[in-house]
Structure 1
Amino acid sequence: MTRADHRYALRTGVTCLTVPGGAVLLNPPHNEKLTGLTAPQSAALKTLNRGPATGTELGAESDSVAPLLDRLADAGWLQVTVRDGDRDLYTLRPFATPRARTAAGAARPLSKFTVIHRDSEGLVLEHPASWCDLRIHDPRLLALAAGADPAELGLPEHLSSQLAADLAWGGFTADPAAESGDFTTRSWSAPDLWFHRRSTLGSRTVTWDGFGPTKWAKDEFPQLPAQRPAYPGAPIALPVPDLESLRTGDPSLTAVLEDRRSCRAFDDAHPVTLDRLAELLYRTARTRAVESTPDGDELPSRPYPSGGSVHELELYPVARNVEGLAPGMYHYDSFEHVLRPVADADSPAVQRLLRTTTATLADAAEPQLLLLISARAGRVMWSYESVAYANTLKHVGVLMQTLYLAATAMGLGAVAQGFSDTAAFTTATGVDELEECNVGSIVIGTPAG
């Protein structure tokens, strides 16, 4: 329903080319030709080209303009701000082709996937599967998050009905019974679906603006150095394996791929040794070289791949039963190939980190050695927008596989965990979680039997 006091604007990215009696709406790869326009319709489009305008300013009282505005809004060419007199309530901002409107039914609560959050422009209501965002201007609408019926917000009946209809049209509301009764919908959690849609190309993201390796921070913040600042403890030198001998003595790639298994039972009477740990770290995670770009960026090279060669991952061995190494938590300095002490073995945080593995290991045993993987988030987030954390998790995956295969070639047992205690990691390291966070863990040891 077109209303004289609502405000209309061309959707972001849309260009309107007007010619006598017609116009072309462009938003690559989409376009729409408008022909046979009346003089009031042409005038309304020219006004929209100059910027946002109310229905009155666009001539919505004309019999021809109101249907045109409704048609363009329903097709997603316009963003519409619904107003109560001169007070802005909300704005529908399309970023894809809208779904067809359906007959208005009873007001429904917000979907479990709908999120209200603040961004640089204010408050916004979003749904990962929607074709639009609903920008909130009136704080009364926040009551929706608490389950308020739109009719209870103190709005005139026609606006309350329009809000309920727009929420349903945008896919922001849902039948709770349907969301919990359907396996496909119920199986997705809100964070998982949001993460999936926000870190991939799709209807919301169709260009590389604000997506991918934009180096958005380049002109505002310095890039973090490739080498992590050293922990203060005295370093423990690690032996360097003979890679040339390993090239000929190792089992074949096919053999280690076929022989790789997750090992959940370990021989504590014959624990992994410091030399074996050193070899595993050297073969999988050492920094082989660092390339400096003309812009001053540092791009390390390691045995596993990393998007943009940023290599934000760090390894923290937590030793409980490692021959030749005192129990405790260490950091592997991949540049110097040394271990640096981080936390004592009797630290409550270290004990918690070890206990989290008991759900993974046979007979609720504790590990000989736990390798924690952390991410220095700024290394990847300095360059990447929207996909930074997704890239980090992909990096964790390739490092996990590298550790698995090297451990198999060495005759060691390994089992990755699908979780770890991120709070205990933060406590043990004393590092702000937003600067460096735990993103993976894998147990290493001498296999039983």
Structure 2
Amino acid sequence: MNLANDRVTGPGGEVRLPRGFPNLEKMCRALATVGLAENENGETVDDPEQIAVCLHLKERFRSRRWIQWVLLDGDSCDLATFEPLNSEFRPGDPHDVTGQRLSRFSYVKRDGADFVLLSPETACRMTLRSDEVLRHIWHLSSPLDGAQANEPLFVALGQFGFLEPGLADEPVERASWAFADAILHSSSRRGLDEPIVGENTDLQEQYPAPQARLVPTGTTYALTPARGKIQLAIDGRRSCRVWQASPIPLPLLSSFLQRLGAVHESFVAGGLERLYKPIPAAGSIHELEWYIAVGNVSGLEQGLYRYCGFEHTLHAVPDSADTAAEMLQNAGSSMGATAEVPPALIVLATRMPRIAWKYRGMAYRLTLLNAGIALDAMYNTATELDLGGCAIGTGDPRPFQRVTGLSWFEESPVVEFALGLPK
């Protein structure tokens, strides 16, 4: 952060300070010790109005991720820095970490000249400032005993979400996720305020764009192109990003969902219930749950709905109107500057416990393959029904998880598909 006149600036914007607020050093002291700060005369500040100002500024700074936490040793030397990765992150309260150990999803990687500790379970990164910290973390493969649990480093790791219960059995939802699957899923979706997904400006600035056409190296054979009805429909498919003002007719949406997600038959094989649906899926497991965020569909109120393919029904998620609007707005902004907010958004959420119960070491790969098949089918079905559709390259799972109350271990969105009547 930088202080210039009455403004504090940093990544993501600036905050204007109240008139007469102390200099930067004293301001930081005031924010850190509200009610115990000193004014410019060195007197203790406990005025309720000034405390309220400090608390307000503290929350605004947190929302911009300007506040970091530093772990010091006895000589006031930095051991580690904890940096929030989204504006919603807050560390937990100090608690007893006896019996806990490093989360199996936590990992250390090099980032420039630093080593950082990361985990998909917490929106925080820990930059290691000392080799001593790295050596201590190395011993966290075993549960902490009572003496270790009192060490400030281990208490901090618990506060910031890097520990897990030691020898307790995992819930099936969490146990279903392999390490590589959890890392890939969390790092390829939005949810962090850092630009980890999107335009790869680093490569674009350093290297020329790879060409689309490869130079033939062997014998060339001419093929006769097909021009049947299905091929013409596929050739005519285009992503749609602008929409009519008219609502999507509910019968049209009903037909769209039935052609893709209706359950034709269920059966048990290998101890697991399998499903026959119009589109294929690995092992006929169909772990992808179909949701729709509704903004402008005739006969439906704005909100998030879950589609049930067994009865061909929609189940409204309670109190989800604002969340649906947020999801639709996110979809519109993700499609580009010229795109409009779509009337509806199809959301496919993976239930990893179902697919991981059958397949080991490839569950997340299979769910992504299934999602790709579903996307292709949605494009073709939308074209056939004279609907417009567009796959969303990025998506933020946080609104979905807030309104459903589901952890990403249980259900997490992997696909978003905008839907509406094309202009």
TM-score (norm 2): 0.47
TM-score (norm 1): 0.44
Greater Rg, structure 1 or structure 2? 1
